[in-house]
Amino acid sequence: MADTDQVPVSDPEAAAAAAVLDALNGTEALNATAKFVASPEGTALAYGSLVLMALLPIFFGALRSVHCSKSKNASDMPETITSRDAARFPIIASCTLFGLYLFFKVFSQEYINMLLSVYFFGLGVLALSHTLSPLMSRIFPESFPNKQYQLLFTQGSDDTKEEIVNYEFDTKNLLCLVIGAVVGVWYLLKKHWIANNLFGLAFALNGVELLHLNNVNTGCILLGGLFVYDVFWVFGTNVMVTVARSFEAPIKLVFPQDLLERGLGASNFAMLGLGDIVIPGIFIALLLRFDVSLKKNSRTYFYTSFLAYIFGLGLTIFVMHTFKHAQPALLYLVPACVGFPVVVALIKGELTEMFSYESSVELLPGSPRLTSFPTVSGSPASLAGSMATGSSPRHRRLQPTPLYEETPPEDTEVKEESETEKKDQ
């Protein structure tokens, strides 16, 4: 989590003249424009809005993950993260993050962000349309003429024909795509922070909904690994902060601290990475599915972890505001989101049940495994990828455990002998 400051130069000619005079005198050129200092009200509004925007995709994404896990529609099937995936996740994310850092150092930032903008335009339209789809189904009455469509791409012919894309949609989905495209064009042309946040919220919600941890052990491995990852890259180097500020893509939520002074054209932003929302969010969603599996009509672990997230994020903001330095949010979120539910489970005597719970077996035996990783911690590449490749035939699926054993040969022979005896009689 970090602040960004963009200070306008009110008089370019005067600033240039001052720079020349300072250079001739052998002194360092100073920016004559005073740095903008956000008011306490503006700062409180920015941080409060970031907290609210972070809570929305976690809460609704977790609720939708329960329905998603029970869905029989192949396009809505979640991606299951196993312990092996969780262990590799921080390593691959670190390599990709450092690769992006080198890219921004070597190549022009303008052209890299241009390519990334086009890439995330497509992903954002799909993510936003998937987010709005359930809402459209409730808004339009059943009498609405909802026609069905199918987009099918195949390769080969006859017996060798192979499906590459098989996308089924209806009129309501088309309307969602149109809305997503309008927001996408707005983002491409203006890079406005509201359009950025709409895409970011859609990525975060889809991530919490469609990325499933198979058990609590896997969640602890993932959160523990990314805890170290976040602390190292924020405190140990300037890589994380540099990439976050250079990466002009909706991989973070932003809110201006000078909104009260400058309106919608404000430019002094506080930011929160999507990884600080999605990573704890999928663990909170797992605990909600665990609550459902207990069949006690209670959401104890979900609400405990949800309140723990609020506490951890609030502590992050407090420390960042106090020390005026970017903070790795997972440093505070991981202990809170894991520790609070574990303590509650110890008190209730359900710790064994919690760690033995298997989400992929309990709710969805045929869930596909996660086969791709995000380009940055919290990057939406994996989030939209989970929608785009959810029904890919190349995905490996978890095989359900057989519920019975075959009848041994000895019993079969006994039955055959008894039948022949009856015929002889």
Q: Give me the percent of the chain exceeding a pLDDT of 90.
A: 42
Asked whether the predicted pLDDT for residue 378 surpasses 70, the reply is no
- Which DSSP string corresponds to 211-269? EEESBHHHHHHHHHHHHHHHHIIIII-SHHHHHHHH--SSSEEEEETTHHHHGGG---E
Query: Which residues in 83-97 are b (16+ Cβ under 10 Å) and which e?
Result: bebbeebbeebbebb
Give the pLDDT score at 74.
54
Asked whether the predicted pLDDT for residue 45 surpasses 50, the reply is yes
158: left (phi over 0), alpha (psi -120 to 50) or beta: left
Asked whether the predicted pLDDT for residue 265 surpasses 50, the reply is yes
284: left (phi over 0), alpha (psi -120 to 50) or beta: alpha
Give the pLDDT score at 55.
96
Average pLDDT for 214-234: 93
Strand partners of residue 180: none
Phi and psi at 7, nearest 5°, equal: -105, 120
pLDDT tens profile 126-170: 999 999 988 888 888 777 788 888 888 888 877 788 888 777 778
Closest by CA to 117, choosing from 178, 167, 5, 192, is: 192
Give the pLDDT score at 258.
86
d(CA 207, CA 77): 12
The model's confidence at residue 3, banded by pLDDT at 50, 70 and 90, is low
Which residues are tagged catalytic?
230, 276
Give the pLDDT score at 391.
40
